[in-house]
Amino acid sequence: MEDILQFVIFPLLGVLFGSGFIFLTRWSGLNARQIFPYGLIAVAFVYVALSGRSDNPTVWLGFEMTGVAIFGSLAMLSVMGSVWWLVAGYALHPLWVIVFHYVGTGSAFVPKEFSLANSGFDLTLAAYLAYEAWSSARAVAQQDARTSAPRDRRRAK
């Protein structure tokens, strides 16, 4: 029973923290696209700090810095290009966490509860960013459809 509760409570805790991050970003008036890349980089750096708890911190430091490079690159690609890079980063980070820190050997120094909560946090932000990107693209498409419709009518006459 404890394992089932662990799979429910800690991801929901991550969802709660993710929702709080979204709320604070919106409340502050800042654009999520400006703030959330730093969040992805910070989440990756947390595992760098936790690598100091491992039996072989030098190896794990290098491994975790590889994660920082991967997710940091996705975050920076989103700053320079499409927000979908950031969605991919937040959606893929839970895979990294579960494979290497929940199931893999990183579970020796990363608390399993933290891995589950972090996955809930990441997936919450990925879903929010995907929704915002999709609704923004939809609004632009509807606006384009409205502005191009009168031009088409004039050409038909």
Report the alpha-carbon distance of residue 105 to residue 132 in Å, rounded. 36
- Confidence band, pLDDT 50/70/90 cuts, at residue 142: confident
For 18-36, the pLDDT digits (tens) are 999 999 999 998 888 889 9
Token pair recorded at residue 5 = 């509760």
pLDDT digits (tens, 9 = 90+) for 92-138: 999 999 999 999 999 999 999 999 999 999 999 999 999 999 988 77
Where b means 16+ CB within 10 Å and e means fewer, 52-90 reads eebeeeeebbebbbebbeebbebbbbbeeeebbbbbbbb
Which residues, 6+ apart, have CB-to-CB distance to 86 below 8 Å?
A: 33, 36, 37, 40, 74, 75, 78, 129
Predicted TM-score (pTM) of this structure: 0.86
Domain boundaries, given as residue ranges, for the chain: 2-156
Residue 92: the pLDDT is 98
Name which of 29-38, 44-53, 76-85 the model is least confident about.
Answer: 29-38
Give the pLDDT mean for 62-86. 96
